[in-house]
Amino acid sequence: MADLTCNLGRLTLKNPVMTASGTFGYGYEYHQYYDISRLGAVVVKGIRMEPSPGNPTPRVAEVTGGMLNAIGLQGPGVETFLHGEHYLPFLRSVHATTIVNMWGKTIQEYGEVAARLDAESDGIAALEINISCPNVKAGGVAFGTDLKLAHEVVSLVRSRTKLPLITKLSPNVTCIADFARAVVDAGSDMVSLINTIPGMSIDIETRRPRIANRTGGFSGPALKPIAVRMVYDVAHAVKVPVIGMGGIMNGDDAIEFFLAGASAVAVGTANFVDPYAALKVIDGINTYLDRHGIASVSEIIGALR
């Protein structure tokens, strides 16, 4: 068996496979299937200061090659996350490595959330700053597609917490490498990419959009070639660890991201198809490494010929 230890600067994981925020809830339901502490990390659904109801239903539609979602960042708010039975206290109790995805509607709110999480950071391994969600009209979309605002958000969060910072980048920009440089310059320890790409699906019988929000974020296996290319671009633009995601369904998909320069990967849409998907990705990575006589996953990071 190969060494799957994943070194992400100040953060070391037992393996390089985590869950993508928004696709794994807060881990409680999935723990009924397997011990989620076996994952490299659980990245929880986005947290802001106050509870958020999200968008009207229907909010998810299966489409060719993946799915559309317009959940709208529904969440319990930071206080419930910190103290609610099925949130951070549960994750601590099962010893899951926990990364908290966080967001705000204003720059100031990002800072407030970061400070609140930092104040009770026991059991929190890192923060992931969501500046890239395309489904929220106020907040995320503007921060993720404006270089100045992206820099300001990350700078403020960096000043409010000592935890390792990951910034989740939006693919909906002309040059994603420029945004990677901007957030790293502002203090981000890592970057993760990509988030969903805006899409739309129409029911031709009713002539209505298939989700109530009309448009939503497209994710799934059809997204993978775009994600691999963007990870490759970013890995060559910055000198911090890159976490790759977008259409990973199995171990072979993950290997592509490592070869492109990712140090870790996140499994998203596959969790909706198979609750064991992330564990199967871990097994698939190990099978590939053993088959090729490679002792450690670190040996294939950026090893594209």
Q: Over range 152-172, report the average pLDDT.
A: 96
CA distances to 19, 63, 128, 207, 213 from 54, in Å: 21, 21, 20, 24, 10
Give pLDDT tens digits for 235-265: 999 999 999 999 999 999 999 999 999 999 9
Q: Residue 22: which residues within 8 A CB-CB, separation 6 or more?
A: 45, 46, 69, 71, 73, 101, 268
Residue 144 vs residue 261, higher pLDDT? 261
What the block records as the tokens of 178 is: 């420029």
39, 133, 190, 255: which one is catalytic?
A: 133
Residue 138 binned pLDDT confidence (cut-offs 50, 70, 90): very low
Q: How far apart are CA 120 and CA 77, in angstroms?
A: 14
Give pLDDT tens digits for 179-222: 999 999 999 999 999 999 999 999 999 999 999 999 999 999 99
**Is a pLDDT exceeding 70 seen at residue 134?**
no
Whole-model pTM above 0.85?
yes
Give pLDDT tens digits for 49-59: 999 999 999 99
Residue 143: the pLDDT is 86
Q: Is 175 a catalytic residue?
A: no
- Superfamily of structural domain 6-54+74-198+220-300: Aldolase class I (3.20.20.70)
